[in-house]
Structure 1
Amino acid sequence: MYEFHGNKQRYFDMTHQVTVGHIIPFLQSNWVFPKDMTVLEIGCGEAGVLKAFTDMGYKCTGIELEENRLEFAREFMKSELENGTVQFLNKDIYHVIPESDLGTHFDLIILKDVIEHIPDQARFMPQLERFLKPGGKVFFAFPPWQMPYGGHQQVLPQKWASKLPYYHLLPGKWYPLMLKMLGVKPNGIKTMEEIRSTGISIERFLKICKACNLSVCDKKFYLFNPIYQYKFGIKPRTQNVVFASIPWLRNYITMGVYYLVEKLN
């Protein structure tokens, strides 16, 4: 585990910086934002991503299941709450009714480092259409499950458990056994197994998109995820185009992917 995992202000600042420096430029590279764009972030956490959009004058909504994270979001976005440029909702996305709960539909939906934590993505992703305006788009950022730290083992407090790559790919009971050998406590093992149950590859993500009639507008693969610049001082580097084009193999050597998708007519 690194210091920033427990420092909410620093994490808020990092997600804000990566949004300003990388996510917004990616979105704008092939898309002109609507004048009065409305933005929804599902799994908004402390709302560092949304801060970048409210700073641009867009009205934003954040949905978050963990109330303690929303408490930080309300603290960090106090002025935006007061002037009405942001609203937050602590509710299960399946139970949210856009018209009555949020009062609007959205031009852009953001899921940054979220889709890999949602159970049954094939059930979840069709829900997004309920929240979109006609012509609206959805942005996904996620680490492929098979990448060196796709198991999110870096959040563990045990030194070697947090630094060893790829061992989350051990099959069956070998993975929890390895975690135990590395000194991880039962609650930590349970959390890691939950993450394993929802991990997603690039190919599975694209398969679900196709089933949901979602078309890819743009994509970007990173050898070094942009967030690493703020976490570890490692400069972002895009993935080699040849490696990025090789199905399955690319999951093992790509630290993060950006996708912008839209509903086909």
Structure 2
Amino acid sequence: MAFAHHKDENLRFEQQVLNAEKYVLPFLQPDFEPATNQHVLEIGCGEGGVLKPFLLRGCRAVGVELVEYRLQLAKSFLKQYLDAGQLDLHCADIYHIQPENISDGGFDLVLLKDVIEHIPDQERLLGWLKRFLRPKGLLFIGFPPWYMPHGGHQQICEHKWLSLFPYLHLLPGKLYPNVLRWCGEQESTIQELLQVRSTGISIERLESIIKKQGYRIVRKQLYLINPIYQFKFGIKPVRQLPVVRSIPYLRDFVTTCAYYLLQPM
């Protein structure tokens, strides 16, 4: 029972725009104030919805996306900014891009919104992204922790109960893919879910990587109810309780979204 936004690109784009406008931008402030002199890079930009509020405020932006058809959608949705020379879009692996080829002096802000959980070797990634940041540049990471109820992205399943079943992705060993096959999921969906399983990241692992790679946490916010659920399901976001967000490991199981703003030390 894949949800409407999984199949409707226009809806997905609008949800990204609204979430970035109402929650991502306020989270960044006052450390980052979008303006015409700011340069922004988004890794895994998809349809480009997260970038639009930055473009509306005059930022110069670059989007990098691996999936060609999603990048083509971004080119359609953001055509006016491409035509004006305010936006560049690249279908590429970020590791195959040199900073000097897409920017003049680096970026004030790099965005990783619902992307880091799909990228292998996140420690390497955070180290690599330092090359793209200007002095005092900032890195934003927003992601669903792996151990949260739908951290395996099982909501993309066609089977109604599988798509709603919490913690399904934590089934051990081969039991997880076998359950997906028994319920009739397509092999392409199963492989996508297994890929997420191989790269999913917890709050604890991210904070360990942040420390190892020499970043400081400027700000973080954990959510019991993910902000984007407001636009997907009509459910208002709820910040995680202080007592819960202070308990390592336990918080991973009951936090549906984490926002981090980082700066290299």
TM-score bracket, shorter-length normalisation: over 0.9
In structure 2, stretches of 5+ residues that fail to align are none
Aligned to 2:17: 16
Cα deviation code 1:9-55 (max 9, x no counterpart): 11111100000100000100454557611100000001001101000
Provide the residue aligned with 1:87 in structure 2. Answer: 88
- Structure 1 residues 102 and 89: CA distance shift in structure 2, 3 A: farther
Counting only pairs closer than 5 Å after superposition, residues 6-85 of structure 1 correspond to structure 2 as 6-32=7-33, 36-85=37-86
Deviation, structure 1 residue 81: 0.6
Alignment of 1:192-203 (within 5 A): 192-203=193-204
2:46 counterpart letter in structure 1:
G
Mapped partners of 2:136, 2:31: distance in 1: 14
- CA RMSD in angstroms comes to 1.3
Question: Please, which runs of 5 or more residues in structure 1 have no aligned partner?
Answer: none
Aligned counterparts of 2:34 and 2:212: Cα–Cα separation in 1: 27
Cα distance change on mapping 1:104 and 1:87 into 2, 3 Å? farther
Retained in 2: the 8 A contact 1:160–1:182?
Answer: no
Shift of 1:98: 1.4
The match for 1:255 is 256
Q: Which amino acid aligns with 2:177?
A: P
Q: Is the Cα–Cα contact under 8 Å of residues 225 and 256 in structure 2 kept in the other structure?
A: yes
Where 1:49 maps in the other structure, the secondary structure is coil
Q: Counterparts of 1:41-190 in structure 2 under 5 Å?
A: 41-190=42-191
Once the two structures are overlaid, the 10-residue window that deviates more, 219-228 or 181-190, is 181-190
- Alpha-carbon offset, residue 103 of structure 1: 4.0
How many residue pairs match? The answer is 264
SS at match of 2:236: coil
Tell me the distance in 2 between the aligned counterparts of 1:186 and 1:64. 24
Q: Any idea what SS the aligned residue of 1:79 has?
A: helix
AA partner of residue 27 (structure 1): L
Residue deviations 1:107-161, cap 9 Å, x none? 0000000000001112221000110000000000000000000000001111111
Is residue 224–residue 256 contact of structure 1 (8 Å, CA) maintained in 2? Answer: yes
Shift of 1:101: 3.7
Q: Distance in 2 between matches of 1:112 and 1:225?
A: 13
Contact 2:35 2:58 survives alignment (8 Å):
no
Q: Distance in 2 between matches of 1:217 and 1:30?
A: 9
Farther off after superposition, 90-99 or 134-143? 90-99
> In 2, are the aligned partners of 1:43 and 1:62 still within 8 Å (CA)?
yes
Cα distance, 1:188 vs. partner?
A: 1.8
AA at the equivalent of 2:20: T
Structure 2 Cα separation of the partners of residues 244 and 20 of structure 1: 25
Identical positions, percent: 46
Tell me the equivalent position of 1:207.
208
Q: Name the SS for the 2:235 alignment partner.
A: coil
Contact kept, 8 Å, 1:66 with 1:90, in 2: the verdict is: yes
- TM-score normalised by L of structure 1: 0.96
